[in-house]
Structures are given as structure tokens and as C-alpha cells.
Structure 1
Amino acid sequence: MAAPLSAWPWENLGIFKYLLYGPLLAKVIYSQIHQEDTFMINWCLHILIISALRGALHIFWSSFVNMLFLTSNRRINQQGYDFKQIDKEWDWDNFILLQASIASMACYIFPSFIENVPVWNTKGFITILILHVGISEPLYYWVHRYFHGSYLFTHYHSIHHSSPVLHPFTGATATILEHLVLTTITGIPMMGSYMMGCGSTTLIYGYILAFDFLRCLGHSNVEIVPHRLFEIFPFFRYLLYTPSYHSLHHIEMGTNFCLFMPLFDAIWKTLNTNSWDLHSQICTNAGKKGRVPDFVFLAHVVDVSSSLHAPFVNRAFASLPYAANLAHMLFLPFWPVAFMVMLAMWARAKTFLVSFYNLRDRLHATWVVPRFGFQYFLPFTQEGINKHIEEALLRADRDGVKVISLAALNKNEALNGGGTLFVNKHPNLRVRVVHGNTLTAAVILNEIHKDVKEVFLTGATSKLGRAIALYLCQRRVRVLMLTLSTERFHKIQKEAPLDCQSYLVQVTKYQAARNCKNWIVGKWITPGEQSWAPKGTHFHQFVVPPILSFRRDCTYGDLAAMRLPEDVQGLGNCEYTMDRGVVHACHAGGVVHLLEGWSHHEVGAIDVDRIDLVWNAALKHGLKPVSSVTKQKFNVR
């Protein structure tokens, strides 16, 4: 049985908990319609505005913390935020709803305190500062220490300390009892200033937002307070805590209990002796190059909406698979901002770090080329895109990255020959360049049942189409290769063993597949073209974007992907439309290349003889297929 006041009363309501703001909103709307203007209605509006500002403040802090391209060298704990922590802190804003409810009730119970309140009162700021330092700070210190007692910590405070890496949402994640106590502590200075006749509207806004700002600062895991400030003004270190100072409380929980002022830890002898040394060390190392990733996945932006799926935009949204329709609806107001940011990134002409995770004690990072998907198909932009990719490869080579894997359009055959352009231009590259298509082909091929005798293949003369056709014909599977180019077909056919060449058949129309129930789609096909497939057809695919699921009497496979091993750490965002822990096969191919320690580049045409080798290596290292067909085949749970 849960301890009293440890669970939130609306924790089972999900997103519907925001309906509890309804009475306040209804009161404001009613007053506008009926032209009422009372102090009570004004304060209902103020409560809603303050709640919105508090939410925005926390979200902006979250975005800043996740801007790894700005903060990676100032991070205190180098571990990433994983899905478990994100889910645990999902309802971080419960305290805003709680305090909004308490404030609205206070307005009705004590109307005399808020009636005829001025907008500004200078004495109020002096009063509230004295009350905060003299009452709230020491009171919080002792209450916090009591919450570290055996019973209170086990049943209440341990939730706050269960997050491995501090985040602005960590500071807001606590039980209802803790937030009721914190509400009382923060309310003392505000109520005190009003009782002394020094209250003002600006005072309320300023104190609440400043309080939240400092809470977010302490839980940000990014050290932004310059150590030089403490060198010039030594006593200032006792007046303002830092992220590194508070991080020590979560490591050595018997120290650094203060709210915002280390002075009280010094007075009651709980100040961690390493506080200033850690702060100095992090600030000194901020100007140095951080840890170099062993593996880099060089991704690209699909469109403006998908760019909003980055972790630094919204951590919760990025932790779920990207859904275009939902993104368009929820983030439409932010579309212009995202577009301007992408233009700025484009002008900066550099790739930027967006996420990382640890696997087998090796750092795996994702860099993004700031180019939209449609730009890859414009002839006049290809030179610039290749220059971007080349600079990323050279940067990885200089930094000591071992393997860099190219995402879909970054390895486009027409763009750079699947990475061949860069390897030929820079023959002394130490970083291994990998297009990952070998594992992509392996994933698709292992979805096909052993008893299949015939398949229909579109995009048949592409890099993947060629490898799939050659592999299947050696398995004595008849491959209907859709292509209008007889020359390219014969070129591929000649690569097959003599006794297998007859299994490769050129077709020029979709009607040729009207009796074939296994379609491998490497080129986008319309609903009309899909209509030639017989009932019960399964569409395997390696086409980007995926084809429309038009036929209800057929089944559709996902893009080739694999689930990362269970020992992956710090992974907290989904790779575009993939599920949690799942990455595109080309990404997984680079991971396998690193884990195996292979020294060759994987560029250009796919080596068909290596498909089984790469597939077995992936399974050996704990990567798992995600399609239902392959799971069934390999008994993967």
C-alpha cells in the first residue's frame, strides 16, 4: 500500500488532467463575454498565465540541456537520458497544476490579500528577499534533511533521487507531499510581503519564475556559472549554488542540502568539500575537446516537421516514434521557428551533435547534416551537400572516430556512389566509412521465407536491388526484376553464377507480378500499381519514404531495422519513425562494423558474399530483427 500523499490524485487521468484548468479558463472566457472585470477574474487569468510561463520556462531549460552541440563539453554527468528516466519524469508538471489549484482556492478564501494590489512595489522586492533568505532558505534546508530520514526518504524523497542524470524535469518530479511542503515554503515570502502591505503583481510573477529558474539551473546537468565569478567575488559562492554543487547532493546525499544558497550548508557543516574543485574542473575542461565518439551515424533532416523530433526541441516527443500527422498538428505554431533554426544551421555549414548513447563502453553519436530531404534531389545542391558530408568525414577522421555510417540520402548512389567518392578522394582516411547497406539487404532477405520460390522486385537495378536479386537467385528463387534497362539487367545477370542466371527474369510491367505474392519494393509505387498484386501479397520494402498501405487484403513490411542490444545505455530518443531502441539497418550496420573491429570501408556496391557474414555478426552482438516475419523465423522474443 502506498504511503499517504505519495501518489498524485490525477495520475490516472493522463493528458485529461489538464481539464482541471478548465474552471479557471471558463471563468476568464465568461468574464470576457459578459464584460465583467473583477479582481477575482483577473487573478484567474494571472494564474493561467503564470502556469503557462512556468511550463514554458521548464521546457526551454530542457531544450537548452539537450542542445548537445552547445553543452556537451559542460555536462557534469556524461551519461544520456534513457527512456526509463524520461517516462518516470513524464508528469513533471504536476506541481504546476497543484499550485495553480491552491492559488485559485487562496484567492477565494483570502480575497482581501489580492484586492487592489498594485502592479509594482519596490519595498516588496526588498521584503520578499529578506523573508526568503531569513525563513525559506533555512526552513527548506531542515525540511530537506528530514526528508533524507529513513521513512520519509523511502516513501517520498527516493523518487526524486531515482533519476541517474539530473534534468530540469528532475527538480520538478516529486511526490505530492513534497510539493505541498515546497508550496508552503515558497508561499511564506509572498504571503509575508502581502501582509506587510508590500505586495504587487510583478512581485508574484518575479518570485515564482525566479524560483523555478534557479531550480532548473541546479538540476540542469550543465555547468553554466563561470568559475571566474567566484574567483573575483569569493563570498558569492555561498550566495548562489551551481549545477555541479547540487549534483554532488545526488552523489553524496549527506551533503549540500541547501535550496539555492550554500551558506546554510556551510553554517550547519554539510557542505561537500569537493564542491568548488568540481566546479573549477568542469569550467576548466569546458574549453577542451570532450570525449570522442567511437561511432558516428551521419543523419539528415527529412523535412521541417521531422526536425521538430530532435531531443532538444521536446524530450518527450523525441522519445516516441515520429508520427507526421501528430507532429503537424501539435507543432504547427513552431514550424516557422524550426525553419529559421534550420536556415541558421544551414548557413553555419557544419554538422551538429543531436544525441548519443553508450554500448559496450563505446560512445555512439548521431550527427546531422543540416539539409532537407528534397534538397538531395536538386542538381545544383548536390555539390554543397557532398561538401558537408566530406567535412563531417574529415572532422571524424581528425577527432579519432573509428566508424562513421551514412544515413539514407547521405549515401545516395547518384550523389556520391554510396560513399565511394570520399574514400577515393581521401585514400588515407583512418575512420572507416560504412553505408550499412549490407545489413539492410540481410534484414530484407531474412524476412523472406525459405519456401518462397518467386519474388517481384522493383528498384531492381539499384544497389540494394542488385544484391537482393543476386542473393535470391543463388537460393534458386525466381526473381522478376522490374526494369526498362536491358543493359543494366544483363550486367547484373552476368554477375550471377552460370547455373543461377536463368532465375533472374526481366519484366517491364507490373502486370507481370499479378500471380506473385512476394513483392520487394525498392522504388515507390502508387496505389494503382499496387492493385496488380494478388490478394494476400506481402510488400517487403526498402524505399524511402515507405509506400502507402493501400491494400487491406495485403500486408506491408516496415523499413529494414534492428533492435539494439539490451545493454545499451543512455538512449532516450527514437530514430525518426522507429520504435524505442530500434534503429535503421544502415545505422545498425555501422554498429556491427565497429563491434567486429573490421578495418575495411563498406562503400559502393554490396558484396553479396558478405551478407550472411554481416547478418550473423549482428545476431552475435545482440542485435535483433524487428519484423514479425523475421522474429518468428529466428524465435526472437
Structure 2
Amino acid sequence: MVFAPLSTWPWENLGIFKYLLYGPFAAKVLHSWMQEEPRIEYWCIHILILSLVRCLIHLYWNSYSNMLFLTRNRRIIEKGIDFKQIDSEWNWDNFVILHALVAAMAYYSFPCLEHLPIWNTKGFIAALILHVTVSEPLYYYFHRFFHQNYLFTNYHSLHHSSPVPQCVSAGHATPLEHLALSVVIAIPVLGSSLMGFGSISLIYGYIMVFDFLRSMAHSNVEIVSHKLFESLPILRYLLCTPTYHSLHHTEMDTNFCLFMPVFDAMGNTLNAKSWQKHKEISLAAGKNGRVPDFVFLVHVVDIQSSMHVPFAIRTVSSLPCGTLYYLIPFWPVAFMYMLLMWAWSKTFLVSFYYLRGKLHQTWAVPRYGFHYFLPFAREGINNLIEQAILRADRLGVKVISLAALNKNESLNGGGTLFVDKHPNLKVRVVHGNTLTAAVILNEIPKDVKEVFLTGATSKLGRAIALYLCRRRVRVLMLTLSTERFQKIQKEAPVDCQNYLVQVTKYQAAKNCKTWIVGKWITLREQSWAPSGTHFHQFVVPPILHFRKDCTYGDLAAMKLPDDVEGLGCCEYSMDRGVVHACHAGGVVHFLEGWNHHEVGAIDVDKIDLVWKAAMKHGLKPVSSFKEGMIKGDE
């Protein structure tokens, strides 16, 4: 094994505790405040502020680049950012800590940094000259040097391991490379200060612009119009665009410059396709781009889930949604965005992935869960869903699948409202409940003879009850409506009708250990279940795990096939690669090429058909997926 010093971070295994390395700066500030004659260590405060600002610049740029509803037609590399890349870049901010420590060493080494004024115009001029004449060519040669065999294999290959450049990819490199980068940054700042022209504003300004331009170059989103270069051709050699730098990531022997392509032109490493590629991407910004083959139409659940999207915090969206205490301070901001979306917004693109070369997208209706229970909001919600379906139809989408409350029976009859209103739709509208029912039913052991079913007269409850009674399973259907119960009972074969039993109280299930929950139940209601009961469920939100002596199933879900590409965000509370069964049902509908709408009541005869199709296409039930993971760990 080749020895490669400074190829790994010394705090690599510290996790979140690496931020304690900022502790000495904070401690020094606090200590200075506690002196009898305070001499506040402002330089420590500046380092802490700059570290925070640098992280925010990268994060805000990353947020913008993942706002697909704004940037989808400006993306340069159209691949998605998958979980592997997200995990690889998780500690992208290590370089900010390193540069903070380097800055502290520089402060103690150069007395000229101790008493800098707020502003000095000459310093900006000096820094600009030093950057163009020293930092730019130095970075260019450093960068080319790191592309040589030994250095690339042991160092720079880490940066190029990200298939799709992102703003945080700018920081995804080894300590040796960032030490070299700190030299490039230090020359204009330190040089100006040694000349006597340094200032606080110069340090802030230079570093912020430096990070802004590096983040922009790695954003994978073109924001510079080709018209600017056509009007002022010289700017092509003075400004590195995201397209220009992306070519370096796809064709690594070209476009080595920092911010000024003139040095690539001088070094004969300028990619000949740079300007044409830039023009193509710039012109594509006004077009629709690639049409998705499949769309999953979701809605926002609550304030917490509204922050669980790639354009909020990418790393958070790559994990199952849950209560994260460090996000609580951002709730007021998320609440304001909720009000803005309620007042003025339309369905927007959230994420995408590829499956067998076909583009699958997730669109979101800008409404939260509680909106669906406001009577005066229903018409507006249906209008938003209808407009999304019509847009998908115009674009040429093959299948659009409705999620959760978007297919609520009382809202639009499980999608029948739209199909009846627009009988000539080419896009197939799917509620996916057939596969949802199949997932729940296939989790029930074959030897079960009796189940207790709440939400018994809902679309799913009806289908589950009818399916189970055909298997000669006794179904205790909790409902106060005898009329609705009898209507369902009459749908069952005559010789199976006696297996459907109406009950009106939870006490009726005190001896039944298989509960199928389609309606939220309290601790008191759960208390009637005998010890050892397993709660299957299709209720949103999931019921709370009150009972320690019982087990609880997950919401109906399936793992996408292994050949899915570019998937980098979790679907609400689901594990990585796992989607709600209604999402999976739409995927199966598309893969099978079925030409019918799946709306309204569930066709019980098709439950097994849809399940077999899902298995054929490589989707996996979550239960077997988790069992496989456990066996693998063992």
C-alpha cells in the first residue's frame, strides 16, 4: 500500500464532535470578556463568523442548485445525486475547520494582521493584482500537478469521485489539497496586509467572493447567459462558468483554471467545446427539457416534512423524516413559507430518479396535510391536482400516481373526479391502492384465521375484507354503519359472506392478535388488544407504539428495484430506496404498460395480479428487505 500523508482528515472519526475544534476560539473570546480590563479577541470572533458564512455560502448555493422547479432546464449533467455521493460528501465542511486553524497560525505568525482597519481601498486593488498574477497561475499549476498519477490516485481522485458536481463538492477533497488552496487564498490577503494595505473588509470580501465563485462553478447549474459572452467576448477568458468547470469533471485533461479560463488558453488546456456547450445549456433554459415518463404527485405533510426536501438540507432529505431538534429554530421560517405557498404557488418538481433509462419525477402539491381537512380548501386543492394531471397529459407523461390525501375518497373519489371530467386523458391516473392492499395482505401470515379491521369501510378496508373472506379468514369489521357493512358483505361470494362480521366496539377484538389499522387509534383503544398482537396499518400518520408487549408494522411500502439510479432522498419516513406502496403501484403500472386508469374502488380480482407484477419487476416488500439486511449484518 502506498503511503500518502495528508490524504485523510485527522478528525475523520469524530463525527459531530469535530466542531469542538472551534472551542478554543470561543473559549478565548469568553476569557477575554471576563478580564478586569477586557481586551476582546476580535480576531477569534472574525474567524468564527467567517467559518459560518463560508458554510452558508456553500449551503445556499447547494439549496439553489437543488431547486429543480427553477433549475431543471439549466442542469449541465442530468444525472441525479444518489445516496453514495451524499454519504461520500457528508463531511464536505472539513476544509472550513482546517482553514480556521491555518488562519489562527497566520495571525500569530504575522503581526501585521493584528491591527487592521475596517477599510482600505488600496488593499482591494493590491489583492486583485496578486490574485490575477500569482494566485490564479499558482492554482492552475497546482491543479495540473494533482492530476499526475501518484497525486491523482492518492489525493485528487476523491474530488473527482462525485459523479455529479455539487456546490459542496468544492470542499470534498483531501487535507493536502486544501492546504494548497489555503496558500492560494492567503497570497492576496496576506500580501496586501504585508504591504500595509490590508483591512477587515478585504479579508471578508475576498474569501466570500472566492467561495461564492467556487460554489457556482461546482453547482451543475448554468446561470451565465451566452449573450453576455457574445456581447463581451473577452469575458469568456475572465469568468469560469459552471458549464466550463463541469467539462473538467467529465474530461479531466482540460479546464484546470480557478476562475479565469485565460490560463487554460495560455497552457493549451482549454476544452474546445467550452463555449458551444455553454451556449447549448444557456439556450435550453427556456425549454421544457426532458419529459418524465412517470410522475408521483405528493403533498406536504407538516412543517417538519417541509424541510425534508433536497433544496432545504440535502443531507437531511437523504435520511428518513423525523423530528430533528436542530431544525426547530427554522420552524418559523418554514411556517412563513407555508403561508406563502398557500397564498401563491403551484405544483412544483421536488426530486427525480431514473429506472431502466426512464425518468421518474416527484411533484408536490403546495398544500399541507391539515389543508385537506378544511372544507373551504377542498375545491382549490382539487384544482391544483387537476392542473397537475392536465400538465402531465400535455407533456406526454405516461402515468401519474396520486399520493396520500391527493386521492382521498371524500376529496375526489380516489381520482374518479378527474377521469370522469376528462375522458380523453392520455396520461393514466393511478391511486396505487391495489398494490397497497397487496402489500398489507402479503404481510399477514397464511395461518391466520381471524383479523380485526378498523377503517373497515374505506377503499382499502373494503378490499382487504373482501380478499380475506375469500381466504376463509374471519374479519371483524369495526363500523357503526350497518348499511355500509352490508353493502360490502353483499359483494363477497355467497359462501364467504358469513366470514365478514360487523363489530361496533374495540372490546370485540380482545382475543384477536392480528389487527389491521386503517383509522388512528389511541392508547385506550390499543389496550383492548391482547398481549402479542401485531398491528398492521395503513393509516397516515402511523399509530404510536404505545404497547411494549405488542409489535407494530410499518406503513405499506416497497423497495425500488436495485437498478434505480440517481435516487438521493428518502420518501417521508421511509428508509433509503423504499417508497410508499401507492408510489410503487404507479411504477408497476408504468412498467407493465397497462392502459387503464386505476381510480375509485379497488378491483379485488387484480390484487394478486399487481403483486406478481411488482415481484417480476424487482420491487421488494419492506419486510423481506429488512430481513435480508439483518441476515447480511449477521
TM-score range, shorter chain: over 0.9
2:401 to 401, 405, 408: 405
Are 1:337 and 2:338 an aligned pair? no
Offset, 1:59: 0.6
In the TM superposition, what whole-angstrom CA distance separates every residue of 1:60-79 from its partner, at most 9, and x where no partner exists? 00100000000000000111
- Assess if the C-alpha contact under 8 Å between 1:625 and 1:631 holds in 2: no
Q: Which runs of 5+ in 2 are unaligned?
A: none
SS of match in other structure, 1:602: coil
Seen in structure 2, the aligned counterparts of structure 1 residues 349 and 144 have a Cα distance that, compared at 3 Å, is closer
User: Equivalent residue for 2:16?
Assistant: 15
Q: Could you tell me how far apart the structure 1 residues matched to 2:56 and 2:33 are?
A: 25
Give the Cα separation in 2 of the matches to 1:330 and 1:417: 40
Deviation at 1:188, TM superposition (A): 1.2
Tell me the secondary structure at the aligned position of residue 350 of structure 2. Answer: strand
Does residue 38 of structure 1 match 2:34?
A: no
In structure 2, what is the Cα distance between the partners aligned to 1:503 and 1:101? Answer: 73
Deviations 1:131-154 (A, max 9, x none): 010001001111111111010000
CA displacement at 1:636 relative to structure 2: 11
Pairing 1:108–2:115 present:
no
Change (3 A) 1:146 1:630: closer
Deviation at 1:245?
Answer: 0.4
In structure 1, how many angstroms separate the alpha carbons of the residues matched to 2:463 and 2:622?
A: 21
Deviates more, 1:183-192 or 1:444-453: 183-192
Q: Which amino acid aligns with 1:627?
A: S
Contact 1:537 1:555 in 2 (8 A): yes
Instruction: Confirm or deny: 8 A CA contact 2:107 2:114 kept in the other structure.
Output: no
Instruction: State the distance in 2 between where 1:186 and 1:582 align.
Output: 44
Alignment partner of 2:542: what SS?
coil
Q: 1:422 to 1:275 in 2, by over 3 A?
A: same
Distance 1:147 1:504, change over 3 A: same
- Encode CA deviations 1:272-326: one digit per residue, 9 max, x unaligned: 01000000111111111111111111000111221011110000000000112x1
Q: Which residue does the alignment assign to 1:608?
A: 604
Code of the residue aligned with 1:313 in structure 2: it is A
Q: For the structure 1 residues 636 and 485, does the alpha-carbon distance in structure 2 shift closer, same or farther, using more than 3 Å as the test?
A: farther
What SS does the corresponding residue of 1:446 show, helix, strand or coil? helix
Q: 1:303 corresponds to which residue?
A: 302
Partner residue in 2 for 1:269? 268
Deviation at 1:333, TM superposition (A): 2.1
CA 1:230–1:36: 2 relative to 1, 3 Å: farther
Q: 1:337 to 1:35 in 2, by over 3 A?
A: farther
Residue 554 of structure 2 aligns to a residue whose secondary structure is: coil
1:348 aligned residue: 344
Q: What's 1:131 paired with?
A: 130
Conservation of the 8 A alpha-carbon contact between 1:6 and 1:175? yes
Provide the rounded CA distance (Å) in 1 between the counterparts of 2:212 and 2:380: 41
Distance 2:129 2:626 in 1: 67
Distance in 2 between residues matched to 1:159 and 1:231, nearest whole Å? 36
Q: 1:121 to 1:35 in 2, by over 3 A?
A: farther
The answer to whether the 8 Å contact 2:309/2:317 transfers is yes
Question: Structure 1 residue 349: deviation in Å?
Answer: 3.6
- My pick for the range that moved more, 97-106 or 611-620, is 97-106
Residue equivalent to 2:30: 29
In structure 2, the residue matched to 1:87 is 87
**2:146 alignment partner in structure 1:** 147
Distance 2:507 2:153 in 1: 68
The amino acid of 1:303's aligned partner reads D
Aligned counterpart in structure 1 of residue 458 of structure 2, from 454, 457, 462: 462
CA contact (8 A) 1:369 1:389 kept: yes
Moved more, 407-416 or 185-194: 185-194
Aligned to 2:205: 206
Contact 1:624–1:636 (CA<8 Å) still a contact in 2? no
CA distance in 2, matches of 1:207, 1:439: 56
Q: From the superposition, tell whether residues 66 and 541 of structure 1 become closer, same or farther in structure 2 (CA, over 3 Å).
A: same
Residue matched to 2:49? 49
1:246 matched residue in structure 2: 245
What TM-score, normalized by structure 2, do the two folds share? 0.98
| 1:476 paired to 2:476 | no
**Deviation per CA, 1:317-339, whole angstroms, max 9, x where unpaired?**
00000112x1xx21222222222
- Look up the equivalent residue of 2:429 and give its one-letter code: V
- SS at 1:357 equivalent: strand
How far apart, in 2, do the equivalents of 1:191 and 1:603 lie?
A: 68
Alignment-derived partner of residue 366 in structure 2 = 370
CA drift at 1:191: 1.1
Counterpart of 1:520 in structure 2 is: 516
Structure 1: distance between partners of 2:419 and 2:22 = 59
**Superposed displacement of residue 348, structure 1:** 3.0
Cα distance change of structure 1 residues 185 and 50 upon mapping to structure 2, 3 Å threshold: same
In structure 2, the partner of 1:177 is 176
Counterparts of residues 484-633 of structure 1 (less than 5 Å): 484-627=480-623
Shift of the alpha carbon at 1:36?
5.3
Distance in 2 (CA, whole Å) between partners of 1:531 and 1:511 is 9
Q: Secondary structure at the match of 1:331?
A: helix
> Equivalent residue of 1:471, what SS?
helix
Task: Indicate the residue corresponding to 1:453 in structure 2.
Answer: 449
Query: How far did 1:33 drift?
Result: 3.6
Contact 1:446 1:630 in 2 (8 A): no
Count of aligned positions: 630
| 1:70 paired residue number | 70
State whether residues 559 and 625 of structure 2, in contact with CA within 8 Å, keep that contact through their aligned partners in structure 1: no
* Rounded Cα–Cα distance in structure 1 between residues aligned with 2:542 and 2:139: 55
> How far has the Cα of 1:171 moved from its partner?
1.0
In 2 relative to 1, CA 78–190 (structure 1 residues): closer, same or farther, beyond 3 Å?
Answer: same
Deviation track 1:108-157 (CA, whole Å, cap 9, x = no partner) reads 233x1222210000000000000010001001111111111010000000
What are the superposed Cα offsets for residues 207-254 of structure 1, whole Å, 9 maximum, x if unpaired?
Answer: 111110110011000000111111111111100110000111111111
Instruction: Indicate how the Cα distance of structure 1 residues 592 and 468 shifts in structure 2: closer, same or farther if over 3 A, else same.
Output: same
How big is the shift at 1:104?
Answer: 1.4
Residues 409-448 of structure 1: pairs in structure 2 closer than 5 A = 409-448=405-444
Q: Which amino acid aligns with 1:214?
A: L
Letter of the aligned partner of 2:520 in structure 1? W
The one-letter amino acid of 2:189's match is M
- Indicate how the Cα distance of structure 1 residues 35 and 499 shifts in structure 2: closer, same or farther if over 3 A, else same: farther
Deviation at 1:631, TM superposition (A): 5.4
Deviation track 1:137-188 (CA, whole Å, cap 9, x = no partner) reads: 0011111111110100000000001111010111110000100111111111
**In structure 2, distance between residues paired with 1:285 and 1:604:** 40
Distance 1:347 1:295 in 2: 28
Q: Which amino acid aligns with 2:476?
A: L
* Secondary structure at the counterpart of residue 557 of structure 1: strand
What are the ranges of 5 or more consecutive residues in structure 1 without an aligned counterpart?
none
Q: Which amino acid aligns with 2:25?
A: L
What is the CA–CA distance in structure 1 between the aligned matches of 2:540 and 2:216, rounded to whole Å? 41
Alignment RMSD, CA only?
1.4
SS of equivalent to 1:241: coil
The residue that corresponds to 1:226 in the other structure is 225
User: Which residue of structure 2 aligns with residue 216 of structure 1?
Assistant: 215
Residue 97 of structure 2 corresponds to residue 97 of structure 1: yes
SS class of match (1:506): strand
Between the aligned partners of 2:63 and 2:125, the Cα distance in structure 1 is: 33
Question: % of aligned pairs identical?
Answer: 72
Describe the superposition over 1:48-107 as per-residue Cα deviations: whole angstroms up to 9, x where unpaired: 000000011111001000000000000001111000000000000000000001111222
**In the alignment, is residue 382 of structure 1 matched against residue 378 of structure 2?**
yes
Question: 1:159 maps to which residue?
Answer: 158
Secondary structure in structure 1 of the residue aligned to 2:152 = helix
In structure 2, what is the Cα distance between the partners aligned to 1:38 and 1:178? 36
